Amino acid sequence: MKKLAVVALGGNALLRGDQDGTIEEQEQNTTDTLENLVFLIKRGYDLILSHGNGPQVGNILMRNDAGESQYQIPQMPLDICVADSQGGIGYMIERMLRNVLKKHNIDKEVVTLITAVVIDKDDPAFSNPTKRVGKMYTKEEADLLHEKKGWIFKSSPKADDAWRRVVPSPKPVRIINEKVVESLARQGVITIAVGGGGIPVYYDKNESVRAAEAVIDKDLASSLLAARIKADEFYVLTDVSFVYRNFNSPDQEAMEFLDYKDTRKYLDNGEFGEGSMAPKVRACLQFIEQGGNKAIITEAFKLQDMNYGTKITMEYDPGDK
């Protein structure tokens, strides 16, 4: 049986911090990243791709604000904005990937699925919203929006008198349509799913699907999908080649091979930054905990160089490559 891998594309795979975010920039970044996936396809892997949506859904929210204030266009809720970003980004990835496959004479179908993810409506995250979304407001504007819409705001560390809306980030529980995603992938269709962590939904007392004003961590949702469909490997593509101890210090140390026990110890000791590497490591550990064979964190453009990347397994195998 061919191997099945879930590959989570990091933010820099689509848009980099020093760029304006034009569609030309995003398409070129996406193409450069997808070129590296040809390596896995030629090795016989079936693939599921996920992606982030932070900058894109932020732009959608700002367009929401502008449409309401200037043209009285009703604002759409956060779940619709996440769905919008899934469709737009998924389309872009699909189109760029079709061109990459044609270039390499690879005959494969590609499909994008709008993906909802079940969360627990009683998740503690709803009592402590922390994920900043949308544009920055003054304190006066934030107070008015809190009174009018019930939105919660926290000050931004980036500027004085700058406040941003914060929303909960609950843990993913189950991927809706996960069996469809698996079926397509195992038939050889490259499947783009769980974009932006998925659209957060829950079931009410009548078993109706309801939307939640929240966002889900993309790597955790991708890891959960990988575990539930029994994928062989889980990849997190980011902007660094390895997971490091003492990152950005004179004695930083690249860690190429890690077992579950040591990785958990480093994470619990605060070795990895919560705003950067810790969520990625946590997602990898979740995959291993739930039966996954191997999780890899590596730079998006060095995937095919097996000397790069941190490989996490339940037990370290010196012969593992």
Query: Domain for residue 75, yes or no?
Result: yes
**With left for phi above 0 and alpha for psi between -120 and 50, is residue 5 left, alpha or beta?**
beta
Q: What is the DSSP string of 283-313?
A: HHHHHHHTT-SEEEEEEGGGTT-TTSSEEEE
pLDDT score of 317: 65
Residue 111 lies in a domain: yes
Q: Is 204 a domain residue?
A: yes
Q: Buried b vs exposed e over 202-234: b needs ≥16 C-beta within 10 Å?
A: beeeeeeeebbbbbbbbbbbbbbbbbbbebbbb
User: Which residue range(s) make up the domain with 244?
Assistant: 4-120+177-313
The pLDDT of residue 160 is 86
In this structure, the number of other CB atoms found within 10 A of the CB of residue 139 comes to: 12
Q: What tokens does 122 get?
A: 């009683």
CATH assignment of the domain containing 48: 3.40.1160.10
Placement of tokens 């040809």 in the chain: 38
Query: Does 169 map to a domain?
Result: no
Q: What is the pLDDT of residue 249?
A: 86
Give pLDDT tens digits along the chain (321 positions): 689 999 999 866 787 778 888 999 999 999 999 998 999 999 999 999 999 998 889 889 999 999 998 999 999 999 999 999 999 999 999 999 999 999 999 999 999 999 999 999 999 999 999 999 988 999 999 999 999 999 999 998 878 889 999 999 999 999 999 999 999 999 999 999 999 999 999 999 999 999 999 999 999 999 999 999 999 999 999 888 899 988 888 889 999 999 999 999 999 999 998 888 999 999 999 999 999 999 999 988 777 776 789 999 998 765 565
117, 203 contact by CB (below 8 A):
no
309 neighbors 241 (Cβ within 8 angstroms) = yes
Cα angle at 188 between 182 and 190, to 5 degrees? 75
Which positions are catalytic? Answer: 11-12, 131, 218, 280
Q: What is the pLDDT of residue 320?
A: 60
pLDDT at 318: 56
Token pair 């810790």 is at which residue?
278
pTM of the predicted model as reported, rounded to 2 decimal places: 0.93
User: What's the rounded Cα separation, in Å, for the pair 119 and 199?
Assistant: 10
Q: What is the pLDDT of residue 18?
A: 80
Q: Is residue 149 part of a domain?
A: no
Q: Say if 163 falls within a structural domain.
A: no
For the chain, the domain total comes to 1
Q: Residue 127: exposed, middle, or buried by beta-carbon count in 10 A (0-12, 13-18, 19+)?
A: exposed
Residue 13 domain-assigned (yes or no): yes
Whether 32 is covered by a domain: the verdict is yes
Tell which residue, 193, 168, 182, has the closest CA to residue 117: 193
